[in-house]
Structure 1
Amino acid sequence: MVGWILKKILGSKNQREIRRMAPIVRQINELEKEFQSFSEDELRGLTASWKEDLAKLLTQEEQWKRLDEILPEAFAVVKNAARRLTERGHTFTVCDQPMKWEMVHFDVQLIGGIVLHRGKISEMATGEGKTLVATLPLYLNALTGRGAHLVTVNDYLARRDAEWMGQLYSFLGLTVGCIQHDQEPSVRRQQYACDITYGTNSEFGFDYLRDNGMATTREQQVQRGYNYAIVDEVDSILIDEARTPLIISGPATISTHQYDKWKPLVEQVVRKQTMLCNRIATEAKEAFDAGNLEEGGLLMFKVKLGQPRNKQLLRMMEDPEKRRAIDKAELSFYQETRKDELFALKEELFFTIDEKSQEADLSEQGRSFMNPDDPNAFVLPDLISEFTEIDLDEALSGEEKEKQKAQRQQLCDTQAERIHNISQLLRAYCLFEKDVQYVVEENKVVIVDEYTGRKMPGRRWSDGLHQAVEAKEGVQIDRETQTLATITIQNYFRLYQKLAGMTGTAETEANEFHDIYKLDVAVIPTNRPVARKDSNDRIYKTRREKYNAVINEIKECHAKAQPVLVGTVSVEASELLSRMLKREKIPHNVLNAKFHMQEAEIVARAGQPGTVTISTNMAGRGTDIKLGP
C-alpha cells in the first residue's frame, strides 16, 4: 500500500528516469537555436573538431567520458542538420523511391537518443520514429573513429535506413555504409570502414565467423572491432532469435547421400501412412461424434505420432474438448508404466515423427515395406557385441580380426547413412511445407525465415536435410555441407563494448534483457496521445470461418476507401487470402517472400485510400507505411 502511494506521488522508476533527462533536453534545444545562426561549414566543422579531440584520447573510457560531456552539443548539431534539410525541401531516393526530408527530432526522440547512448533499450511506440532517434547516438559514438553499427532485421530495412538517414550523416561530414548479403569481401571492408554501418544481425555475425574462422591474414578480415551497436527490433533479435546458431558450412569432403535412390520408396511409404492416418482420423471422428472422447483421443494421438501435420488432426486440435482428449491420451501413454503399450502403438504405423525433436523413425512395418527381403537393413548392428565375438574367436589371426572389424564397421557406416537418408526424407515430406518453410525458385530450394517471412538465398539446412528437400521437390541435389564455424546471435552481441536497443515491445521481456545482456529498458512517452483503437482478439472454431470473417472485414473497409493491411504467418496463407479476394473482385497487393523485389513499391502504396495489402511478417518489423489523405 505504501509503495502504491509513493508511486502515485513520485511516479514509477521509469517516469523518474525520464524526468531526470528533461534538463538535458532543454539544453539541447537551447544549443540547437544557437546553431541556427551557424553556416553549414561551421556546423560541419564541429564534427571534424570533435573527431580530432577524441582521437587524442588514448583509452576507450576517456573517450566515453568525453562523449557524455559533448552529448548536448552533438545532439543539437544533429537536430539542427535535420531542420536545415527540412527547410531546404531536400529530396533524394531511397530504394529507388523518391523521398523528401520532412523530419526534425521531437523532445521524446531526444530522450530516446540519450537512453540509447547510455547503453539501454529504448521502448518507443509504433510510428514514433525510432529510425530517426538512432541518428543521435550513432552520430555521437561514431565521432570516436571506432565505428558505430545499426543492426536491423532484414536487408531491405538496412538499405532503406542507410540511404534515408545517410542524408543526415553525409550533411554532417560522416560516412555511412550498408552491408548486403551479396557483397564481395572488398566491398564489405569498405562498408565497415565507414563511420556508421547498417546491416542485419546475420550479416554482422557471418562476417565475424569468416574473419575469425576462415580468414588467414588480417587483410582478409572485413570487420574492425565491436565498439557500439544499436539493435533495432531488439526483442526479435536478442530474445526470439537469441539461441539461433549462425553456421558457416563448406562442402563435405565425401558425399555419400542416396536421397534420389530412396525418394520413390519414401514417397510410397508416406502415401501409405497418409491413407492409414486418414482412416484412423475418420474412426476418431466417429468416436467423438458418438460421445466416446477417450477412444477418439487415443486414435487421434496415434495420428499425431504418425502425421503431426495431418489436416483432420489440426482441425480437431482447434476444438477445446477434442484437444483435451488428445492431450490426455498423450500424457497417459508417456508414463513409465505404459512404455510397452506406446511401443506397440507406434508399431501399428509405418513410421513415427516427433515434431518437437524433429526426428523420424521407421517401425517394423515400415522397414518391411521398404525392404521386404531384409528389414534389418534399416537397423544399426550392435558393433560392440560383434567386435567382442571377433576378439573371442581363437581361429582368427590378429590381422584377420582387424580385417573383419573393418568390414563390420564399413557395413555399419553404410547402414547408418541409409537410415539417416531415410529419416531426413521423412522429415522433408512430413514436416517441411513448400511456401511455408521454403520456396522453389530457379530450380533451387530457398529457405524462408520463420521470423521475418523473407527468403534467405545462399542458406542451407544442415545434416543433409536440404538435400532431402531438394530430392522431394525434384530439383538439383547439391553437395552435402559440413560446419566450419558457428556462433549464436546472443554470443555475438556480447562482443560489443556498448550495446543498446530499440523496439516497440520490450517491457514484457525486461527481466531477460537485464539477466542475459545487462540491458535496462526505458519506456519513452509518445509525442502525442495514441489515437489507435486496439480491439480484443476474435477466436473462430475453424480456419474457414476465420478467413471468411477476414474477407468480410476487408470488403467493409474497402467500401469505405480505408487502407487495409492483412498480416499472415506464411506464403501459403497470404496466397489463399489473395485467391479469396480475387473471387470477390477486390484489387489488392501481395507482399511475401515470392514478391520481395516489389517490396518498396508495395509498402509505399499500402497506406493510400482503398488499398488492400496482404503480407507475411515481412511487413511486421520496421516497415514504414504512411497513411494517405
Structure 2
Amino acid sequence: MLGALAKAMFGSSNERYVKKLDKTVARINAYEPQLEAFSDDELKAQTVKFREQLAAGASLDDILPEAFATVREASKRVFGMRHFDVQMIGGIVLHRGEIAEMRTGEGKTLVATTATYLNALEGKGVHVVTVNDYLAKRDAEWMGQLHRFLGLTVGVIVPNLNEYERREAYNADITYATNNELGFDYLRDNMKHERSQMTQRPFNFAIVDEVDSILIDEARTPLIISGPTDDKSDLYISVDAVIKNLPEELYEADEKTKNITLTEDGVEWAERQLEAAGLLEGSNLYDVENTQVVHHLDQALKANVMFKRDIDYVVKDDKVVIIDEFTGRMMDGRRWSNGLHQAVEAKEGVKIEPENQTMASITFQNYFRMYPKLSGMTGTAATEAPEFYDIYKMNVVTIPTNVPVQRIDDEDEFYKNTHDKFGAIAKLIRERQEIGQPVLVGTVSIEKSELLSEFLNRENVKHAVLNARFHEQEAHIVAQAGSPGAVTVATNMAGRGTDIQLGGNVEFRIEDELRDMPEGAERDAAIAKIKAEVAEAKAAVLASGGLCVIGTERHESRRIDNQLRGRSGRQGDPGMSKFYLCLEDDLLRIFGPDTLFSRMMNSNLADGEAIGSKWLSKAIETAQKKVEARNYDIRKQVVEYDDVMNDQRKVIYEQRSDIMDAETVDDVVVDMRRDTVNTIVGDACPPGSYPEQWDVEALVNRAYEVLGLEVPLAEWMEEDGVDPEVIEERISALADARMAERMADQQEVWRTVEKSILLERLDHYWKEHLATLDALRQVVFLRAYAQKTPINEYKQEAFGLFEKMLETIREDVTRILSTAEFRFQQQPEEMSLPELPSFLTGHIDPLTGELDASMGSQVPGAEAMLSALGTAAPLAAHAVEGGDPYADLGLSRNALCPCGSGNKYKHCHGAVA
C-alpha cells in the first residue's frame, strides 16, 4: 500500500532514473545551434578533436554531450533523421553498459549510433551484435554511412570471409556481426598457432541488438566447434551387445522424457558384464576412469529401449535416418549428437559413421561476459531483468516512447479446442481484411502457421505465411505487412529488425519495384508515385484502426507475447492486439486435463463458444511466470557447468597466448621436464619409504621411455645416503645434458620445434579433456541418488581431470622432445606451423531446434606436423607476375593471401621470385 502510494507520488525507480538523464539531454541539445552552423568538413573534424581530447586525458563522459550532438547533426545531414530526446536517453543508457528497453518503432538502430560513435573514438573497437547476417549487413551499410561521414571505419563479419577480410573487419573502429560469428571466431582464434593468424582484437565494448534473444533465448545451448574423432565402432558394438542381454527389471524408463536409468541391481549387472567384456577399468562403473564407458552405456540403453525403428527413425540404404516427431518426415543428413546416432547404428547393425568430437566450445554467457563493457537494446527485457542482472550484471532501463502509445490490447478469448479457436481467428481476419485493416498473426510453430493457412484458405483470405528461415526475403514481406488488407502469418522470429509501417514501406518498395530502372527523370517520377500511393494507403489504414495483431496462443515467455504486441501502435499509430487460446495449447496443458479450470471449460462451453475474463488471463500469466522461472533455472545450470570449464578454458587459452607471444619457450620446456622427472621419481620412490621398497625397475624403464636415458640407478643406490631428491637432481642433470646435445647444431629451428610441439600437444589433450568433461556431465546427475550435489561432484571431478591432463601434457611434450628423431629441412624459414584441421561449427537454434552447422576451412590437420618438420620438403614457392601488391600490409607469411586464392601468402603473392 505504502509502496503504491510512493510510486504514485514520486514515480517508479525507473522513471526517476530516466528523469535524471534529462539534464544530460539538455546539455546535448545546447550544442545543436552551434553544430548546425558547421560545414560538413567542420563537422567531420569533430572526430579528430574528440580523439585529441581523449589523448590529453579527457574521459568519454566528459565529451559525451558534444559527441552525441555531433552524431545527431550528422544523422540530419546523412539520413534526414533527427534523434529524438528519448533516443538520446537510450544512447546514454547504452554507453553506461545497461539495457535500453525501447518499444518497437522507436528507432533502436539509430539510437545505437550515439553510443557506438562515442566509444569508437578510443580506437579500441566497438562490436554491434545482431541476430542474423542480413541485419548485420543491412545495419553496417545503413548506419555505416553516418559513421564514415564522421571519419570512422566500419566492418562487417558474415560467413565465408577469408582470414584477411575478417582481420580487416575486426580492426575497423566499428564492427557489425552476428553473435555466432563472433563466438566462432573467438574459438577459432584460440586454435591457431601464430598471433598474426588471429583475427580478433582484445575485447572492449559491445552493443547487443535484440539482447533478450541473444543473451537469453540462444544462451540455452553453447557454440561448438567439432571435428572427426577416432573410430570407436568396436566400443559401440561391444557395449550394444551387453545391453541387448539386459533384463527388463534392471532398468527404469521414462517415455515422456526419453530418459532411462539402471537400478542398483542393474548397475551391478552392468559392471560384471562390462568387466567380462574387458571394457571396465577396475570393478566400479562410476570411477572417473570409466566416464566414457558409462556415457556409451547410457546411449546404448536409450538406443535399444527408448528409440523405436519406424517411429523415431528408419533404416534406409544402410543408414539410420531420423524421423521428425512433429511432421513425420525423414530428415536426411541430420544426426543425433553425443554418440546417440552411433549407438542406434550399432543396434541396427549398419555401418557406424564416426562421431564428431568437440574441439572447442563456449556459452554465450561466458563469451559476452569477457567484454569489459556490455550493453543491449530490445523491445522486451523488463520481464527478464533479474536474469540480466544475475548473469551479466546489466540493469534494464525502460525508455519512454516519443509519442504516447494508442494501441488497444483486448482481453484474451478462450475456446475448447484448436478447431474452434482457428475458426474464430479466420473469421475475424476476414472481417478485418474486408474493411482494409492489415493483420499480423503470430504463431508458435511452422506447423501451426500451416494449419491456420488452411483455415484462411477456406475463408478465401489472401495471405502470406512466413517462418523465419529466409531473413532477407521475409524482411521485404514484413515491411509491407502494414498495407491495406494485408494478412501476414509469422512464427516467432519472423520480421525482427524490420518495422511494419502503415501503408507500406517506401524504401523497400523502391528497391523491389525499381531495382533495374536507371537513374533519371523516369525513376524520379516512379519514386514520387510510390510515395503518393503509400501516403494514400497509410491514411486508409489509419481510418480502419491501424495494424491488428492476433496471437494464436500464449508463448511460454511473456516477453515473446510482448514482442508480437509491440509490432502494432508504433510512434503513436492506432492499433489493437488480441490473443486466442484453447485447452489444447502447449501452455494451457500445464494445468493438466483434470484441473478445475479445464473441467469448467469443458462443461460450460458449447462448441464454437468463447469466454474471456481477467481471472483467466491472470492465471495464464502466473503459468508463464512459472515456465520462465524453470527456463531460467535451466540456463543458470548451463552457466554453472560451463563456468567450471570456463576457468579451465581461460588457463589453457592464456597458456597458448603466452607460448605464441614468446620468442622462445625454453623455460617452459625445462619446467615441464623437471616436473616430469619429479613425477617419475615420486611414483617409484614414494615419500617416507625405504630404498628396499622402491620400484627400481619401473623407474629405470620410465626414464628410458620418457627421457631416452639409461639411468645407472643400481650404481647410485650402492652409494651411502642417496635419497629421492638426489636421484631426481641427477636424472634432471642427465636429461638437461641430453637435450643440450640434441639441440646443439639447431638452436634456431629447435625453438620452432618446441613451440610447435607444445601447442599441438596442448590442443590435442584439451580436445580429449573436453570430450571427457562432456561425457562426465551426461552422467554426473546420477550422483544425486547418493545424496550428493551433482554440480559439486562435477567441479571436483573436473578439477582432478584437469590436473591429470596438465601432467599428461608435461610428460608427452618431454617424451617427444627427448626421444623423437627429427630430420630438419635445409630452409627452416619455410617450415610451416600446424594449422587448423577441418571442422564443423554448430549451434542449436532454441526456437526451431535446428542445428545451425557449417563446414569450417578445409586445411591440413595438425597431426601432419611431425612429418612436415622431419621429412617433407618445403612447398615450391612461385613468383607472381606484377610484383606483390600487399607488401606494405605487414602480413604473416603463413596467413592466407588477401587475393582470395586460398593459398598461403608466402606461396602466392608473397612468394620470392
Q: Which TM-score bucket, shorter chain as reference? A: 0.5 to 0.7
Letter in 2 for 1:359: N
Kindly report which structure 2 residues correspond to 1:429-468, keeping only aligned pairs within 5 A, or say none: 429-430=311-312, 434=324, 444-445=333-334, 462-464=337-339
1:83 matched to 2:76: yes
Choose which of 162, 169, 175 in structure 1 pairs with 2:147: 169
Asked whether the 8 Å contact 1:113–1:137 carries over to 2, the reply is yes
Deviates more, 1:130-139 or 1:44-53: 44-53
Choose which of 381, 386, 408 in structure 2 pairs with 1:506: 381
CA shift in 2, pair 1:439/1:124, >3 Å: farther
CA shift in 2, pair 1:519/1:463, >3 Å: same
**1:48 matched residue in structure 2:** 48
CA shift in 2, pair 1:391/1:220, >3 Å: closer
Shift of 1:188: 2.1
1:571 matched to 2:446: yes
CA shift in 2, pair 1:434/1:105, >3 Å: farther
Kindly report which structure 2 residues correspond to 1:488-499, keeping only aligned pairs within 5 A, or say none: 488-499=363-374
Q: Superposition RMSD on alpha carbons, in Å?
A: 4.4
Shift of 1:482: 0.7
**1:580 matched residue in structure 2:** 455
Shift of 1:595: 4.8
* Superimposed CA distance per residue, residues 118-146 of structure 1 (whole angstroms, 9 cap, x where no aligned partner): 11111112221111111110111011111
**2:259 matched residue in structure 1:** 359
**2:25 matched residue in structure 1:** 25
CA shift in 2, pair 1:220/1:544, >3 Å: farther
CA distance in 2, matches of 1:28, 1:75: 7
Asked whether the 8 Å contact 1:424–1:464 carries over to 2, the reply is no
User: What secondary structure sits across from 2:226 in the alignment?
Assistant: strand
Shift of 1:486: 1.2
1:68 matched to 2:61: yes
CA distance in 2, matches of 1:413, 1:218: 37
CA distance in 2, matches of 1:35, 1:105: 14
* Superimposed CA distance per residue, residues 384-426 of structure 1 (whole angstroms, 9 cap, x where no aligned partner): 76489x999xxxxxxxxxxxxxxxx999999877556547855
CA shift in 2, pair 1:418/1:172, >3 Å: same
Shift of 1:550: 2.1
User: What secondary structure sits across from 1:231 in the alignment?
Assistant: strand
**1:227 matched residue in structure 2:** 204
CA distance in 1, matches of 2:423, 2:21: 50
Letter in 2 for 1:532: R
Asked whether the 8 Å contact 2:157–2:176 carries over to 1, the reply is yes
CA shift in 2, pair 1:411/1:624, >3 Å: closer
CA distance in 2, matches of 1:576, 1:144: 53
* Superimposed CA distance per residue, residues 336-362 of structure 1 (whole angstroms, 9 cap, x where no aligned partner): xxxxxxx88998xxx75342xx53689
**1:199 matched residue in structure 2:** 177
CA shift in 2, pair 1:382/1:478, >3 Å: closer
User: What secondary structure sits across from 2:414 in the alignment?
Assistant: coil
Asked whether the 8 Å contact 1:205–1:246 carries over to 2, the reply is yes
Asked whether the 8 Å contact 2:98–2:375 carries over to 1, the reply is yes
Asked whether the 8 Å contact 2:312–2:325 carries over to 1, the reply is no
Letter in 1 for 2:497: G
* Superimposed CA distance per residue, residues 276-332 of structure 1 (whole angstroms, 9 cap, x where no aligned partner): xxxxxxxxxxxxxxxxxxxxxxxxxxxxxxxxxxxxxxxxxxxxxxxxxxxxxxxxx
Of structures 1 and 2, the larger Rg is shown by 2
Letter in 2 for 1:607: G
**2:223 matched residue in structure 1:** 246
Question: When the two structures are superposed, what TM-score results if normalisation uses the length of structure 2?
Answer: 0.47
CA shift in 2, pair 1:34/1:465, >3 Å: farther
1:556 matched to 2:456: no
Asked whether the 8 Å contact 1:232–1:501 carries over to 2, the reply is yes
CA distance in 2, matches of 1:509, 1:414: 38
CA shift in 2, pair 1:549/1:617, >3 Å: same
Question: When the two structures are superposed, what TM-score results if normalisation uses the length of structure 1?
Answer: 0.66
CA shift in 2, pair 1:413/1:232, >3 Å: closer
User: What secondary structure sits across from 2:380 in the alignment?
Assistant: coil
Letter in 2 for 1:166: G
Shift of 1:151: 1.6
Letter in 2 for 1:516: I
User: What secondary structure sits across from 1:128 in the alignment?
Assistant: coil
**2:407 matched residue in structure 1:** 532
**1:146 matched residue in structure 2:** 124
Asked whether the 8 Å contact 2:478–2:495 carries over to 1, the reply is no
Letter in 1 for 2:476: E
Kindly report which structure 2 residues correspond to 1:114-193, keeping only aligned pairs within 5 A, or say none: 114-193=92-171
**1:302 matched residue in structure 2:** none
Shift of 1:236: 2.5
Kindly report which structure 2 residues correspond to 1:322-401, keeping only aligned pairs within 5 A, or say none: 352-355=254-257, 358-359=258-259, 380=270, 382-383=272-273, 386=276
In the alignment, structure 2 segments of 5+ residues that lack a partner are 238-247, 283-290, 314-321, 504-537, 539-913
CA distance in 1, matches of 2:403, 2:39: 33
Letter in 2 for 1:528: V
**1:339 matched residue in structure 2:** none
Shift of 1:481: 0.6
CA shift in 2, pair 1:549/1:380, >3 Å: farther
Letter in 2 for 1:227: N
CA shift in 2, pair 1:146/1:2, >3 Å: same
* Superimposed CA distance per residue, residues 156-213 of structure 1 (whole angstroms, 9 cap, x where no aligned partner): 222222222122212222222222234333322222122111222222112111112x
User: What secondary structure sits across from 1:14 in the alignment?
Assistant: helix
Letter in 1 for 2:368: F
**1:12 matched residue in structure 2:** 12
Shift of 1:77: 0.8
CA distance in 2, matches of 1:491, 1:111: 28
**1:605 matched residue in structure 2:** 480
Shift of 1:611: 1.4
Letter in 2 for 1:191: A
Identity over the aligned pairs, expressed in percent?
A: 54
Letter in 2 for 1:575: E
CA distance in 2, matches of 1:594, 1:512: 29
CA shift in 2, pair 1:426/1:40, >3 Å: farther
CA shift in 2, pair 1:413/1:24, >3 Å: closer
User: What secondary structure sits across from 1:254 in the alignment?
Assistant: coil
User: What secondary structure sits across from 1:608 in the alignment?
Assistant: coil
**1:619 matched residue in structure 2:** 494
CA distance in 2, matches of 1:510, 1:413: 37
CA distance in 2, matches of 1:109, 1:584: 43
